[in-house]
Structure 1
Amino acid sequence: MTTLEAHNITFAYPGGNPILTTWSHTFTAGQTTAITGPSGRGKSTALYILGLLLTPTTGHVTLNGQTLSNRPDHTRSWHRAHHFGFVFQNAELDPTRTLADNILESCHYRNENPATRHNHALHLMERYGVALPPHRRPGQISGGQAQRVALCRALIGDPLVVLADEPTGNLDAQSTTAVINGLKEHAATGRIVIISTHSPDVVAQCDTHIDL
């Protein structure tokens, strides 16, 4: 069973005061966890540390008992590509690439041929209500549609852990439901899903809750 653990994490940006101080938590497979707290308290920072995008000042992150946060960049990049999926607040799609290519982007980091997952990308688009031609580009779709595409991109590699940073902050009710349901469905397959959010409605749909 997959476990992701934060062990006594402290983090401060250069020249700043600590944002997180001796923070620890164990995340369990099959659950969605909401991380809440006031702006500036460290919700996004916690996600980026858990996802190996930031290195803690002290403490460490383990995945399935293996300490990863202090490993070299290329090792952390390998684990991000193979074990983690990310959904960012503003989708962060590449405007120069098609929707399908955006979804399949992580295949390149895993040295997979994107063509082998193309049909799966189309299936995800249909499943999460992206009723759009896959050759369209991000500038031709709405914000809600873009966030659903970002969800498909996060799930295409069936990651052990999905980290979602305010994934519904700018969405209408229909798109919010689609994104949260997609994250919960992924967790139900035995994966870990962690959501940074200000929304009480999103918190209410999660299995566990951390208030920073």
Structure 2
Amino acid sequence: MAMVGRVGCDIDLRRPQTGIFCMRFLKRLIGALLVLFVLAMTGIGAAGYWYMQDESQGDVALILGSKVNVDGSLSPQLQARLDRALRLHKNKRATTFVVSGGVGIEGQDEAVIMAAYLVENGIDRGSIVVDSNGITTFASAQYISRLYPPRTRLIVVSQFFHLPRGILILKKTGFEHVSGAGVGFSFARDIYSLAREVPAFVVYACCKVP
């Protein structure tokens, strides 16, 4: 005969309700992971805003690329980054500006167009370095590490959520003094982009940069 115990409901001790237990466990696990993910998003976003408060003087500003439209016009996100770089120039916080981007599916060279925008808005062409192979943040860091010594004071220019990873990568590349100049939350897409930063940040935080 089946042994039946009562713990709020009848349970057949010979046939534990493993299916129900597993479902409850999975729900709790998924819930916990979601909470951790949201906490990670919050932490990265908060860190980005914290970096934005740093008004340190720099030698070189690294402006990370973003989408350029098919007609060659800047996406709002990229223009915001470049306008942030122009403020650095106006406040004399950097003397050299490295524009780093790739050629997207739109067929436009981000770095060349970024440089043209800075020149049009008052930065001397001789103060701008163009990196057309900066297809990733890591590629941009590798490029700039070949140009400047570790003690160069760098300022990373990007959206706020991108600053923690950008600064982390540059420090792992060997730079000792890295600060950030960010664009605050201003686009609905920033929420999606912030979520994407979580796995990307974890990968670079856990892996050794060659």
The alignment's TM-score, normalised by the length of structure 2, stands at 0.27
Structure with the bigger percentage of helix: 2
TM-score of the pair, normalised by structure 1 = 0.27
Structure with more strand by fraction: 1
Kindly name which structure, 1 or 2, has the bigger radius of gyration based on alpha carbons: 2
